[in-house]
């Protein structure tokens, strides 16, 4: 692997500073309430510099979801230890709940709204990890085949995203991780033999 030049390292650091500044402002004020100019001023860069790294403010959201997808694809998928598909689905959503909780309720409130269209996107890495678990469970005769793996993935995500949305509505008044664990343990029963 080729070593990065000082200029490349500086560019990466600037891009990270802009990204982190945008995320901090988003948590504080809401995504819809921040501007590129405000991000740049707070990050100490010009608007032109922002557009060297991001095509628009929406690219910040894309990056947030890309990081989450990469985390599930590279980390969570390799850490699932359950011996059955049911166990792995429960572990997967435990990791999903923890990931959301660890990002903090103010940040998650900004993501869980009707303007976040990425939730509708198909084929994201996060979905692929869950789909692979379900496909293997169907092959092993652990999970019913009356619904496709894609339908089961969508069904499960709709339910758990609903819990996270409810957690946001209630300002985190209950334990998200514990609630998701309990809910998914019951929900997954409808898919397993």
Give me the average pLDDT of each 10-residue run along the chain (193 residues): 83 91 88 92 95 90 87 93 96 97 88 73 88 97 95 96 96 97 97 91
Q: What pLDDT is recorded for position 106?
A: 84
Q: Let me know if residue 157 belongs to a domain.
A: yes
Q: What pLDDT is recorded for position 114?
A: 65
The number of folded domains in the chain is 2
Q: Let me know if residue 1 belongs to a domain.
A: no
Q: What pLDDT is recorded for position 112?
A: 81
Summarised one tens digit per residue, pLDDT across range 42-74 is: 999 999 999 999 998 888 888 888 889 999 999
DSSP category for residue 143 = B
34, 53, 72 — which closes off a domain? 53
Q: Residue 97 sits in a domain of what CATH number?
A: 1.10.357
Q: What pLDDT is recorded for position 141?
A: 95
Domain range enclosing 32: 6-53
User: CB within 8 A of 136, min separation 6: which ones?
Assistant: 85
Do 180 and 118 lie in one domain? The reply is yes
Q: Let me know if residue 28 belongs to a domain.
A: yes
Q: Let me know if residue 116 belongs to a domain.
A: yes
């Amino acid at each position: 692997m080729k070593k990065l030049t000082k200029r490349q390292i500086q560019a990466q650091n600037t891009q990270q500073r802009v990204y982190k500044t945008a995320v901090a402002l988003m948590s504080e004020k809401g995504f819809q309430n921040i501007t590129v100019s405000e991000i740049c001023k707070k990050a100490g860069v010009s608007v032109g510099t922002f557009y060297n790294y991001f095509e628009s403010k929406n690219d910040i959201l894309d990056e947030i979801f890309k990081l989450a997808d990469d985390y599930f694809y590279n980390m969570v998928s390799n850490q699932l230890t359950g011996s059955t598909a049911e166990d792995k689905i429960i572990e997967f959503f435990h990791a999903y709940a923890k990931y959301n909780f660890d990002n903090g309720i103010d940040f998650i409130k900004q993501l869980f709204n009707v303007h976040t269209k990425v939730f509708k996107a198909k084929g994201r890495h996060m979905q692929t990890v869950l789909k692979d678990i379900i496909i293997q469970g169907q092959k092993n005769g652990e999970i019913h085949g009356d619904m496709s793996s894609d339908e089961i993935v969508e069904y499960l995500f709709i339910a758990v995203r609903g819990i996270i949305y409810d957690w946001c509505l209630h300002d985190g008044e209950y334990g998200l991780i514990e609630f998701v664990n309990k809910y998914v343990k019951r929900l997954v029963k409808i898919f397993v033999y």
